[in-house]
Amino acid sequence: MASYSIPIWFFLLPLIVGCGGKSGSVIWSHAKDAISLEIVADGSLNQYAGEPHTLALCVHQLSDPDKFGELSGTPSGVLALLKCDSFDASVSGYRRIVAQPGEQKILFLDRAENARFIGISAGYYNVNPAQATRLFEIPIDEHKQGYIPFFRDTVRQPGRLKINLLLDPQEIQDVGGD
């Protein structure tokens, strides 16, 4: 019986030690063209006095969504977001975009270091906070790394985010983000 104890332990050792786990936390590094933003603007975009107008958008890249959420809850907060600056320490990057009535375009943005969320605000004439802001979370991709089945690690890294925005005459209609 003693002659079989070594081979049995040899095969049981991987089970006792355990399977590969998740290797650390996600490193939120800079990534080129990691965010795609498709904008489809209605022909009656930002309608005021019966006429369509251009619409200023601000895309904020955020490490934490709390301050963006707080500001996006009031008309004065939305106006502060539309200054398109670093309103808080959670802002990793920002970019102003102008949409024309009837315009369709796709933009590719670099993901800023530490950016985990994308907040979008729109400068409609009739500022309604619920209709003028959207928040998206950058996904986390997971994949297995290694060749030995019991010792493979799960690697987690920031994924690519695709945002589809439909800009109606008076509000952002997000068609999705993934």
Burial annotation 70-104 (CB, 10 A radius, 16+ → b, else e): ebbeeeebbeebbebeebeebbbbbbebebbbebe
- The pLDDT assigned to 178 comes to 61
Task: Report pLDDT digits (tens) over 114-168.
Answer: 999 999 999 999 889 999 999 999 999 877 776 777 666 777 889 999 999 999 9
Residue 155: predicted pLDDT: 77
Q: What is the pLDDT of residues 77-124, one digit of tens each?
A: 999 999 999 999 999 999 999 999 999 999 999 999 999 999 999 999
Q: Residue 25: its pLDDT value, please?
A: 86
Q: Does domain 27-177 have CATH number 3.40.190.10?
A: no
